[in-house]
Amino acid sequence: MSEAKHPRGIAITLDNTSPGLQWPNILFLAALAIFAFNAIAILNTPVATNQREQWAHFDQQLLVTKQQIELSNIALSSIPDRITLSLAPPPPSWLDQKVKNGDTLSLIFKRAGYNDEDVHNVISQSADGASLGRIFPGQTIAFQTNDSNDLIGVKHIKSPLETVTYMYTDSGFESQVETRSPESRETWKTGVITSSLFLAGQEAGLSQNMILDLANIFGGVVDFALDPRRGDTMQLVYEELWVDGEKYSDGEIIAASFNNQGETFSAFRYTDANGNTNYYNEDGVSMRKTFLMAPLDFTRVSSDFNMRRMHPIYKITRPHRGTDYAAPTGTPVYAAGDGRVIQAGYNRTMGNFVVVQHSDQYVTKYLHLQKRMVDTRQHVSQSQVIGAVGSTGAATGPHLHYEFLVNGVHHNPRTIYKDLPKANVLPKNELANFRQAISRANMQLAALRSHNHLAMIDTAELNATPN
């Protein structure tokens, strides 16, 4: 008897001493069947003109069959009489523990039946042990034990894309990091504004993050707090990331367009010759302007720039040198452009405030904040969160008071953008590559705009049809 191990853990046992049906006997029966089949085939053929030729052919088939039996006996004489298969025992299973709010690694190990010494061994002995200490709700910690109930494996499933496995070896626990790449699928959405971009995006099936990304792309040309009107449309082509046949997350916006009061703005994602990725309009002009049109999103303007406004608290006519954006308390406030914080503090009139210097000419002010998130002399970048909407100081309700100064003189933040520095433009020698790269996305946006237009016509005709 001999035994061989299959790579997958199957043990193959060869036994040529056991009684039973022998291989040569099986082969003889098979050859005899072949002979019988050939004989029947010959006897069923039309009668030959020469009966002697027919029997000669029959004798030849008999000789071939005899040779096949002899060759089979020689070639298979070394094959054992019986083959038996036995499966190796399955590997130990994993016991999963979901990370809950308030969980610590020690608590999870204890819940699975292990102690702090086990925690210390895994963390201290493996190269990626420190990573195991950074756990978040929703992740999975799995445990594997041997027959003696000793801990031999820990698996930290961080996400569907990353897993770290810690296995016990003769030298202690060793770690292995496994990463996966999601499948990217291109998709598209269209929407019609009925009240706000946010609601239109939700109705179109966009996630909150995707709506915010869309607003950030057009934040230099559209003030989404005031500009959108009923009937404005949006179209976008973007990526979705899929893992194991299920959507994992949104990817990047490939191209998008927004029609605001009859004017269409388009943006295309493009990586230039230097490897920098940004969004540009169809002429290669960057969508990232020097300043945002509005320092926060999806709110309504409660009080515009007015040099003769009646102050709601002091009841006197005094200039309103900025724009008030009414928004819920805690709404993030963004820096309108790159700059340096020259003041961040509190007084009875302005409440919590932040003042940002942008180059030598421009200053922006943000008043009545619930809290400040930057300090004096700190550098900030465009769209960085610098505070949250509140009602501190002389305010009748939660809102952001936003001011824009040029060379120390107040200007209407809603109109000053026309006089601001122009955005960056792709170099002329790169425009041909850019236009070729965006040609397909440009046609997709045109088709989506046409789809939106036809749908709106159908809706208008339906509403106009008498009952």
pLDDT of residue 163: 96
Of the listed ranges 198-202, 252-256, 374-378, the least confidently predicted one is 198-202
Say yes or no: 71 and 135 in one domain.
no
Q: Which domain covers residue 66, as residue numbers?
A: 2-87
Question: Could you tell me the end-to-end alpha-carbon distance of the chain, in angstroms, rounded to an integer?
Answer: 91
Say yes or no: 100 and 78 in one domain.
no
Predicted confidence band of residue 315 (pLDDT cuts 50, 70, 90):
very low
Say yes or no: 83 and 12 in one domain.
yes
Do the domain assignments include residue 143? Answer: yes
Say yes or no: 36 and 77 in one domain.
yes
Do the domain assignments include residue 229? Answer: no
Do the domain assignments include residue 379? Answer: yes
pLDDT of residue 24: 52
Closest CA to 193 of 168, 224, 239: 224
Residue 161 has pLDDT above 90, yes or no: yes
Q: What is the model's pTM? A: 0.66
Do the domain assignments include residue 438? Answer: no
pLDDT of residue 467: 47
Q: Across residues 316-325, what is the average pLDDT?
A: 64
Q: How far is CA 313 from CA 176, 316, 397, in A?
A: 64, 8, 11
Q: Across residues 39-44, what is the average pLDDT?
A: 56
Do the domain assignments include residue 196? Answer: no
pLDDT of residue 16: 46
Predicted confidence band of residue 29 (pLDDT cuts 50, 70, 90):
low
Of the listed ranges 187-196, 300-309, 358-367, the least confidently predicted one is 300-309
As a whole-number percent, the residues of the chain with pLDDT over 70 amount to 72
Say yes or no: 372 and 320 in one domain.
yes
285-303 tens-digit pLDDT: 999 888 988 888 655 555 4
Say yes or no: 77 and 100 in one domain.
no
Do the domain assignments include residue 189? Answer: no
More confident residue, 215 or 45: 215
CATH, residue 148: 3.10.450.350
Do the domain assignments include residue 100? Answer: yes
pLDDT of residue 22: 52
Say yes or no: 126 and 76 in one domain.
no
Predicted confidence band of residue 7 (pLDDT cuts 50, 70, 90):
very low
pLDDT of residue 32: 57
Say yes or no: 324 and 369 in one domain.
yes
pLDDT of residue 279: 97
CATH, residue 349: 2.70.70.10
Closest CA to 189 of 461, 427, 451, 384: 451
Tokens of 200: 């239109």
pLDDT of residue 296: 83
Q: Tell me which of 135, 152, 179 is where a domain ends.
A: 179
pLDDT of residue 48: 45
Residue 465 has pLDDT above 60, yes or no: no
pLDDT of residue 5: 47
Do the domain assignments include residue 102? Answer: yes
Predicted confidence band of residue 197 (pLDDT cuts 50, 70, 90):
confident
Query: CB neighbours (10 Å) of residue 406?
Result: 13
Query: Rounded CA gap, 98 and 154, in Å?
Result: 13
Residue 348 has pLDDT above 60, yes or no: yes
Residue 174 has pLDDT above 60, yes or no: yes
pLDDT of residue 83: 56
Question: How many separate domains does the chain show?
Answer: 3
Q: State the DSSP H helix or E strand holding residue 356, giving kind and residue range, or none if neither.
A: strand 351-358
418-446 tens-digit pLDDT: 778 778 899 999 999 999 999 999 999 99
Of the listed ranges 19-23, 260-264, 409-413, the least confidently predicted one is 19-23
Q: Tell me which of 179, 212, 232 is where a domain ends.
A: 179
Of the listed ranges 68-72, 354-358, 399-403, the least confidently predicted one is 68-72
Those residues whose C-beta lies under 8 Å from the C-beta of residue 332, and which sit 6 or more positions away, are 296, 385, 387, 388, 389
Query: Rounded CA gap, 420 and 338, in Å?
Result: 14
Q: Across residues 142-147, what is the average pLDDT?
A: 93
Say yes or no: 105 and 56 in one domain.
no
Residue 264 has pLDDT above 50, yes or no: yes
What's the chain's average pLDDT?
81
Q: Tell me which of 112, 145, 179 is where a domain ends.
A: 179
Say yes or no: 170 and 101 in one domain.
yes
As a whole-number percent, the residues of the chain with pLDDT over 90 amount to 54
Say yes or no: 79 and 102 in one domain.
no
Say yes or no: 62 and 170 in one domain.
no
Q: What is the DSSP string of 265-305?
A: EEEEEEE-TTS-EEEE-TTSBBS--SS-S-SSSS-EEEE--
Q: Across residues 49-78, what is the average pLDDT?
A: 60
Query: CB neighbours (10 Å) of residue 351?
Result: 19
Of the listed ranges 71-85, 209-223, 373-387, the least confidently predicted one is 71-85
The radius of gyration of the chain from alpha carbons, rounded to an integer in Å, stands at 38
